[in-house]
Amino acid sequence: MKQPVCRFFAPMLVLTFAFACSEPTNGVRAPQRSVASSRNGLEQVPQRAGHDQMWMDLSRRIAGFGGMYFNDDGDLVVVLKDTSKTAEASAALAGFVGQSHRPKYLPSPHAPRMLFAAGRYDYLELVALKDLVSSAVSKSNANAVAIDEVANGILVGVDDGSISLAHSALVAASVPENAVHIVSASRSHTVSDTIKLRNTTSPLVGGNRFWVGGTFCTLGLPVKWGSANSDGFISAGHCARLGNGFGDTLVELGDSTFVLTQKSIGSIIDDGSATHTCSHGTNCKWSDAALFTMASGVTTRFAAIARGTALAWALTGQYWSPSDVGNPIAYDHRSYWGSSTLGPFEMISQEAFQGEVVGEWVSKVGQTTGWTVGQITNASYDVHTDEGYWILQSVQVHGGAYAGDSGAGVFVDAGTTTSNGNEAAKFYGILFSADSLITDRGRSVYKSYTYSPIYLIQTHLGNGIAVD
């Protein structure tokens, strides 16, 4: 039987359902917005938020809207169940055209356009399918469940050897035909580190490293929080949970003179441990993020992230190559740590649409691999981390990270400069895990990382966190 044309994720092992294409059946309905119980310390948050909520709203406004993505040329591709009905999409989505944030050294071959592709499902149906699939594979060693907007279906990642188990569970749950791709994928790894050392700067900015509970992580972004507009920063939640709990002392370490030095920089306010029940089970969270307050006398540069210069990574997987300008997605940290000549990125806003677009180019600055630039591959990515939590509606990026980069801030270049003459940027979120480990030129690196969007972090942690 002829298979539908789908997008897969090499080199993972892929199993595609061999059914004929059809419209969703078996009682799949659009989900309703609800609130999780706040009893027993569970977080009280909407069951649907962020990217999925906005795309669902678009699906209600645009007949047959099934998602969208930027292609390799930077064109916006809108998926519709009926591609003859493009007028509503053209009017509603015009503001997304040209917003792929494609790096300036990779010019587009032509002016960005809006294109259309046919899909089987609208986004309301995709969200309902994702919930159905998540529940069905909850006991099948699943490590990721995502909406694949390019393939217009659901992606499921499971442990090696569990593909048949997941397939049987989906069949038993009467999952619609040709809706799911099952891939072999290990559980996502949190990427704190116990080895790396980096120079420190003052005042503190995003990209600096800190220590808590015997492990190093990255300071994501200096923020303001609470009614008193206090100084603090956000980073990965699992970094905070490595310590002894609220009020744990954070220590900044530096080796600028090859002698280990340290000073207390702050303490934990909220380690992001609150969970709620979702279709994956009871251990679900809207983010893996934490809020920290600064110690007396410690200064930060509000909403600023360190900036680097040298190109380092190519999409082909080359790592630490000095100047491959043909297809770069990253920059070398070695030229900017401790540098006083380069001003930082300054955040002028947070992600405004509450919904990142697949194919969009984003940056991160981590204490291990520095400034890396890559493309979003999944924007509705539920991931099961090695802590045992399901982190909902995370965003997966093909961008490069390694141990110690947990907590790194993710952002896009705004294409302008601030009044201080620094690069302006829009803040997107906090990196918390990575996958697909490779070794290149003797160095290990994860090809993909996952981050929690800032609007879900603010929902999860509360505390009036301001990032711009």
Encode the chain (468 residues) as per-residue pLDDT tens digits. Answer: 333 222 222 222 222 222 222 233 333 433 332 222 222 333 444 455 678 999 999 999 999 999 999 999 999 999 999 888 899 999 999 999 999 988 776 778 899 999 999 999 999 999 999 999 999 998 888 899 999 999 999 999 998 888 889 899 999 999 987 899 998 887 776 765 443 334 445 678 888 877 776 677 888 999 999 999 999 999 999 888 765 444 444 554 443 333 344 567 778 888 888 888 989 988 999 999 999 888 888 888 898 888 754 333 333 333 333 333 232 333 333 333 333 346 788 888 876 555 799 999 998 888 777 777 889 999 999 999 888 899 999 999 988 788 888 999 999 988 888 888 888 899 999 999 988 777 655 667 788 899 999 999 998 898 889 888
Q: What is the dihedral of CA 305, 197, 289, 384, to 10 degrees?
A: 130
CA distance 71 to 68: 10
Dihedral sign (CA 164, 166, 169, 170): negative
Query: Which pLDDT score, from 0 to 100, does residue 62 have?
Result: 94
Q: Would 14-184 and 189-468 be classified into the same CATH topology?
A: no
CATH topology of domain 14-184: GMP Synthetase; Chain A, domain 3 (3.30.300)
CA distance 468 to 466: 6
Query: Which pLDDT score, from 0 to 100, does residue 92 have?
Result: 93
Query: Which pLDDT score, from 0 to 100, does residue 437 have?
Result: 78
Query: Which pLDDT score, from 0 to 100, does residue 105 have?
Result: 67
CA distance 317 to 449: 14
Q: Which option is the CATH number for 189-468: 3.10.310.40, 2.160.10.10, 2.40.10.10, 2.40.50.40?
A: 2.40.10.10
> Using CB atoms within 10 A of its CB, is residue 325 exposed (0-12), middle (13-18) or buried (19+)?
exposed
Residue 455: how many CB atoms within 10 A of its CB?
A: 24
Query: Which pLDDT score, from 0 to 100, does residue 442 have?
Result: 63
The stretches of 209-325 forming alpha helices (DSSP H) are: 237-241
Model confidence pTM above 0.75: yes
- Where do the structural domains in the chain lie, given as residue ranges? 14-184, 189-468
Query: Which pLDDT score, from 0 to 100, does residue 423 have?
Result: 84
Residue 71: how many CB atoms within 10 A of its CB?
A: 16
Query: Which pLDDT score, from 0 to 100, does residue 366 have?
Result: 84
